Amino acid sequence: MADPSRPARRRGRRSLSDGAARAPVARLAASQLKRLRRIVDVAVGLAEKGGFEAVRLRDVAEASDVALGTLYKYFRSKEDILVFALREEVERFEAATAARPPEGRTPLDRLTHFFERATDGMTRRPNFARAVIRSIAAGDHEIATQVAAFHLRMTRLIVASLRGEPADLAAPLAETTGNEREGRVAFVLQNVWFASLAGWAGGLHPAKTVAEQVRVAASLMLHSA
Amino acid sequence: MADPSRPARRRGRRSLSDGAARAPVARLAASQLKRLRRIVDVAVGLAEKGGFEAVRLRDVAEASDVALGTLYKYFRSKEDILVFALREEVERFEAATAARPPEGRTPLDRLTHFFERATDGMTRRPNFARAVIRSIAAGDHEIATQVAAFHLRMTRLIVASLRGEPADLAAPLAETTGNEREGRVAFVLQNVWFASLAGWAGGLHPAKTVAEQVRVAASLMLHSA
DNA sequence: AGCGTTTTTGAAACATGTTCTAATAAGCGG
DNA sequence: CCGCTTATTAGAACATGTTTCAAAAACGCT
């Protein structure tokens, strides 16, 4: 007599890879770090080849030399693994962007450049990207919270592009960068980007269109009526 | 030796409820229409109570007095049922909006009013809305195509609100309503709305915030810099 | 090294979406 | 009404995410 409205699984347990809000991948022994890495790498590899469904946890466990139960000690769910991979990806992207800020004379140029890079980074591995997008949208609160953190990171980068300044990665994420208007523009652009990526993921339009749509949105907000 | 990258299920078969592009719910006998209705109603009821996971197809089949196999003759997947329900919902919303267009003296007022209604319509049944959003984001191409059709419908309504004219529901959907700028504004607003709804679905912010964020986006595009 | 604690393992079990099949029922053209 | 075609059924079967559990291994500490 299971109660469908409250699925038995996914209780308040913690996964070893947690620390979304706190220290990233906290105090894990070296061997555990290696296990985690193997799991994530295998999962990403499978996702790149065949998308969300290709990431079969039995396969992941076997290929990363870990028992299924252990895998669930590290991650709450399949989506959790993929979101973890996304987190790493976002961090890499953030570092790369901070190291080499998008070029362009006008804010619109820089934003265009920025989102071209971001879109390219996502769509370069289409199956992985689709798998990640699907994981994001699963509706889980825990996952949504992590996604909110990515949002903040991206917003910071967008504001930096808008201003033509390098992003300050050392600043606390919660801190509002830029003035109100800049933050709002960044917020809207990010939503447009996400929604457009979702459309791309569903095969509605090519990757190029994603970047174009964001540019259109940016130009609508940056230019006067 | 199943190939994970190409899941066996979901081949090019057609479901009876198809006709997304063509006639809606084509030539079905009366008894079949009744079956379809029972299935959808039961599924919606379960979704309202417990969200996506509460819609257990075995339960749906039993409660709607239909065999599991029959259910799969009508719908390709669980997501397909929920998207069908969304389609009906969107059509209702469209009719209601056309009958009583959003009020307001300025475009911004009308858009605000419009999105308040739309957001309220979605978030009034939170579990159902979350279930639907999850279904939308599943990444299936067939489903994405249907979602694209909703997009067109919504865009038409948004443009009408923007102009302060009643929407012409008789016009073919593909036809571009409004001038280019209006279409773009509508497109951006819809993306913001969707992305913000997704955030709401994940528990990141209350429903009120969704409407606010869309209003902010609209004001950024309607006012000059 | 020895010991108590924690982690990992291996394997089974469970839940649920999806598919398959043989038998039955329904619908329909004549 | 007959026979043919198609739809429906009941139920098993399959795939895969998730959970559980007892035993074995690894770990950390003194």
Is the pTM of the predicted complex or chain greater than 0.85?
A: yes
List chain B pLDDT tens, one digit each, 225 residues: 445 544 444 556 778 777 544 344 555 678 899 999 999 999 999 999 999 999 999 999 999 999 999 999 999 999 999 999 999 999 999 999 999 999 999 999 999 999 999 999 999 999 999 999 999 988 899 999 999 999 999 999 999 999 999 999 998 888 877 789 999 999 999 999 999 999 999 999 999 999 999 999 999 999 854
The per-residue pLDDT for A12 is: 63
The closest of B188, B140, B139, B144 to B162, measured between CA atoms, is B188
> Does residue A7 have a pLDDT over 70?
no
Consecutive H or E run containing A213: helix A207-222
The per-residue pLDDT for A124 is: 98
The per-residue pLDDT for B38 is: 98
A10 band by pLDDT with thresholds 50, 70 and 90:
low
Phi, psi of A173 (to 5 degrees): -60, -35
The per-residue pLDDT for A201 is: 95
Residue of higher predicted confidence among A14 and A54: A54
Residues in A 110-169 with any Cβ partner in B closer than 8 A: 127, 130, 133-134, 136-141, 143-145, 147-148
A30 band by pLDDT with thresholds 50, 70 and 90:
confident
Residue of higher predicted confidence among A61 and B178: A61
> What's chain A's average pLDDT?
90
Candidates A139, A194, A216; nearest CB to B52: A139
Quickly tell me which residue has 């669930």 as its tokens.
A72
Helices (H), chain B: 30-54, 57-63, 68-74, 78-99, 107-123, 126-136, 141-163, 180-201, 207-222
B-chain residue closest to A218, CA distance? B221
Mutate: best of A10, A135, A192, partner B, most B CBs <10 A: A192
- Give the per-residue SS3 of A137-160: CCCCHHHHHHHHHHHHHHHHHHHH
Token pair recorded at residue B86:
């969304």
Q: Which residues contact A224 (CB under 8 A, 6 or more apart)?
A: B224, B225
A185 band by pLDDT with thresholds 50, 70 and 90:
very high
The per-residue pLDDT for B45 is: 98
User: Which protein residues have their Cβ less than 7 angstroms from some atom of strand D?
Assistant: A 8-11, 29, 31, 53, 55-58, 68-69, 72, 76-79; B 2, 4, 7-8, 16, 31-32, 35, 65-70, 73-74
Q: Which residues contact B61 (CB under 8 A, 6 or more apart)?
A: B39, B67, B68, B70, B71
Contact B46 A144 (CB under 8 A): no
Candidates B54, B134, B195; nearest CB to A191: B195
pLDDT digits (tens, 9 = 90+) for A91-137: 999 999 999 999 999 999 999 999 999 999 999 999 999 999 999 98
State how far the Cα of A83 lies from the Cα of A72, in Å rounded to an integer.
15
Range of weakest confidence among A154-163, A203-212, B29-38, B176-185: B176-185
Q: Chain C positions under 7 Å from a protein CB?
A: 7-12, 15-22, 26-28
A19 band by pLDDT with thresholds 50, 70 and 90:
low
The per-residue pLDDT for B24 is: 42
Chain A residues in contact with B184 (beta carbon < 8 A): 216-217, 220
State how far the Cα of A66 lies from the Cα of B57, in Å rounded to an integer.
33
The per-residue pLDDT for A224 is: 53
A198 touches chain B (CB under 8 A): yes
State how far the Cα of A159 lies from the Cα of A190, in Å rounded to an integer.
11
Token pair recorded at residue B141:
């191409």
